[in-house]
Amino acid sequence: MEGALLARDLANNPLGHLIATEYGDFATEQGPSFGLTVATYGLAALIELGCGGLLGVNAGSYEEPRMIVLRYKPEGVPTAHLALVGKGIMYDSGGISLKPWDLMHLAMKMDMAGSAAVLAAMTRLRDLGANAEVSAWLMCTDNMPSGTATKLGDVLRARNGKTVEGENTDAGGRLVMMDALCLAMEESRDAIVDIATLTGAAMAAPVTLVGATIGNNQELVDQVTAAAAATGESAWQLPLENRYLKQLDSDIADISDVGGTTAGTMKSDTEDS
SS3 sequence of the chain? CHHHHHHHHHHHCCCCCCCHHHHHHHHHHHHHHHCCEEEEECHHHHHHHCCHHHHHHHCCCCCCCEEEEEEECCCCCCCCEEEEEEEEEEEECCCCCCCCCCHHHHCHHHCCHHHHHHHHHHCCHHHHCCCCEEEEEEEEEEECCCCCCCCCCCEEECCCCCEEECCCCCCHHHHHHHHHHHHHHCCCCCEEEEECCCHHHHHCCCCCCCEEECCCCHHHHHHHHHHHHHCCCCEEECCCCHHHHHHHCCCCCCEECCCCCCCCCCCCCCCCC
Residue 5: pLDDT band (50, 70, 90) is very low
Region 35-46: mean pLDDT is: 98
Of residues 77 and 104, more confidence is placed in 77
Identified catalytic residue from 99, 109, 151, 189:
99
Judged by average pLDDT, the poorest of 122-126, 178-182, 203-207, 254-258 is 203-207
Region 64-78: mean pLDDT is: 97
Question: Could you give the CA distance from residue 88 to residue 185 in angstroms, rounded to a whole number?
Answer: 19
What pLDDT, on the 0 to 100 scale, is given for residue 150?
97
Whether the per-residue pLDDT at 204 is higher than 90: the answer is no
Judged by average pLDDT, the poorest of 8-17, 72-81, 255-264 is 8-17
- Which residues face 256 on adjacent strands? 165
Region 202-229: mean pLDDT is: 86
Is 189 designated active site?
Answer: no
Closest among 195, 235, 198, 242 to 216, alpha carbons compared: 242
Whether the per-residue pLDDT at 260 is higher than 80: the answer is no
Question: Could you give the CA distance from residue 174 to residue 54 in angstroms, rounded to a whole number?
Answer: 9
Phi and psi at residue 186, to the nearest 5°: -75, -15
Whether the per-residue pLDDT at 269 is higher than 50: the answer is no
Is 99 designated active site?
Answer: yes
The Cα-based distances of 52 to 17, 55, 148, 181, 192 in angstroms read: 24, 5, 15, 13, 21
Identified catalytic residue from 66, 87, 157, 174:
174
Region 83-101: mean pLDDT is: 93
